[in-house]
Amino acid sequence: MTAGGETAQSEAVAEVVLAVRDGIMQGTYAPGQRLPEADLVSLYRASRGTVRTALVQLENEGLVQRERNRGARVRPISLEEAVEITETRAVVEGLCAAKAAERATEHDRARLRALGDEMRSAVERGDIPAYSRTNQLVHRAVRDISGHQTAGLMLDRLRIQSVRYHFRVALLPGRPGVGLREHLDVIEAVCAGDPDVAEKTMRAHLLSVVGALQELAKTQPGW
């Protein structure tokens, strides 16, 4: 295969990975749902080889299970696992918030506050997808500002596995308002340059998400 062909193949795989990942995160594909290769080939107008490679990548991310002679399906994540993932994120992202507080430049602080304004606007409009998207951007910005590469690699995998449940948490009555206040607190703690407060504030936010996950499980049995 030529270099151009390899690039085109890589781009095609990335497109399928992104589409299926987004479908899993947003609930289009339910936990345990089968993902037949033939269906994905038709839906995304991709080759079977492209789809197969995409499913391997999604399996490596922990989003898909592939079974011999049975194909692929969306990997279910139990309440216990979702809670454990979020508890782990609380520790690692707390570290990132502390580092970000130490390292944030004036440009970084302006960027974080602009994201806070975007989140506030989304909540005021009742735009849950925009709120959820900005939520992720705030966490990513804190991680990027921290410059902690090891933590970042850990968070890539953890966030991808849990974010579809956090999207459902955002649908709980009143949760966007709570999440907005928590994120604004994190932003101001980082911008204030106090590592201890930033770490505690980020941990408190994600432990609040744990409580919301448990509430979700009570209101939606069999989630």
Q: For residue 191, what pLDDT is reported?
A: 98
Predicted pLDDT at 43:
94
Q: DSSP H helical segments within the chain, as ranges? A: 3-25, 37-44, 48-60, 79-103, 106-125, 128-146, 149-169, 175-191, 195-219
- The domains located in the chain, with CATH, are 3-74 (1.10.10.10), 79-219 (1.20.120.530)
Distance of CA 120 to the CA centre of its chain: 19
pLDDT in tens, the chain (223 residues): 555 667 778 899 999 999 998 888 777 888 889 999 999 999 999 999 999 999 999 998 888 999 888 899 998 888 888 899 999 999 999 999 999 999 999 999 999 999 999 999 999 999 998 998 899 899 999 999 999 999 998 998 787 777 667 777 888 889 999 999 999 999 999 999 999 999 999 999 999 999 998 887 777 655 5
Closest CA to 93 of 35, 170, 152, 52: 152
pTM of the entire predicted model: 0.77
d(CA 65, CA 45): 22
**What would the DSSP string read from start to end of 141-156?**
HHHHHHT-HHHHHHHH
